[in-house]
Amino acid sequence: MLSASSSDSAAPEQDSAEPTLVGAPARPAPRFRLDISYDGTDFTGWARQPGLRTVQGVLEESLSKVFREPVQLTVAGRTDAGVHAEGQVAHFDTTAELDPAKLVHRMARFLPKDVRIRDVRLVPAEFDARFSAIRRHYAYRLTTAPYGAEPLQARSIVACRHDVDIDAMRAASRKLLGLHNFAAFCRRREGATTVRELQRFGWERDGDLLTAYVSADAFCWSMVRSLVGAVLAVGEGRRTPDWVGGLLNETERSSSVTVAPAHGLSLIAVDYPADADLAARNAQTREVRTVPSGESCCGG
């Protein structure tokens, strides 16, 4: 679902938008943080792709028109086609005159209704939406109602055909918490590590609605949907929590894990350190990337 390695052929533009190195002299153009939400249904994911409607493409085109200069966005989490975001974060640099509050109002009228710029903030030059992030939070939403998903929520809630055993799902999810090699849950990327620290994987029930909350320092490509798919197999009685735990011993993607549908997934928040700690965090993230065994394949 997320992708950030230079081998990501589907989204080469991301790399050209990388910021200058940490420690370089202060850039002349001020940096702005955007808080963004979108309904992923009618987008081919975040990353700009020629001829396709993507969130990055729509936002960069709109901002470039408003500023009358090219705008390039760097994003926290490059979501796949169909995946939503309620708390996406991006940054860009511009020397154009910019009143944050006015820009929010202006973009509210300018942008299509399925993508919103919720907030615009001037940030320190060290803020990097991708490299400064310390944690990503996703929600995955399902319903076990016999009639399916409520129509007004059907774009973001997946209908389960059967009821599920939430206690077994919670037991399975707990087995995955911590620092592990999540290779079984990740689409392979050449030279990219699949070691991640899964910090939260909890399930909440509200009537027929089930929500998984999944948080980690970063995620591999398709990881959240694979985690949810594996745990759902337990909820439906097809697998055991121990089977899920055993997947952590795999060294490559497991064909026995079903990737849950994209439209249940939403990026709900990204955490950043305090301004004073941004430079240290960037250095730490980049340091990890130079070590093959520790390289972050995406989102981190």
Contact call for residue 159 and a copy of itself (CB under 8 A): yes
Q: Tell me, by CB under 8 A, how many residues bind a copy of itself.
A: 31
Burial class of residue 209 (count of CB atoms within 10 Å of its CB; 0-12, 13-18, 19+): middle
Candidates 4-12, 46-54, 106-114, 241-249; binding stretch for a copy of itself (CB under 8 A): 106-114
Burial class of residue 294 (count of CB atoms within 10 Å of its CB; 0-12, 13-18, 19+): exposed
Q: Establish whether 213 is an annotated binding residue.
A: no
C-alpha span between 300 and 266 (Å, rounded): 17
Contact call for residue 110 and a copy of itself (CB under 8 A): no
3-state secondary structure of 224: helix
Tell which one of 105, 121, 188, 238 touches a copy of itself (CB under 8 A): 105
Contact call for residue 285 and a copy of itself (CB under 8 A): no
80 is catalytic: yes
The helix (run of H) or strand (run of E) holding residue 171 is helix 166-174
- Copy the structure tokens of residue 53: 């409607």
Contact call for residue 152 and a copy of itself (CB under 8 A): yes
Q: DSSP characters for 99-147? A: -HHHHHHHHHHHS-TTEEEEEEEEE-TT--TTTS--EEEEEEEEE--TT
List 8, 80, 208, 217, catalytic entry: 80
In the shown chain, the binding pattern of residues 18 to 37 toward a copy of itself, with x for contact by CB under 8 A and - for none, equals -------------------x
Output the known binding site.
138
The set of catalytic residues is: 80
Residue ranges of the annotated binding site for substrate are 138
Q: By CB under 8 A, name the binding residues for a copy of itself.
A: 37-39, 84, 86, 101, 104-105, 107-108, 113-119, 145-156, 159, 266
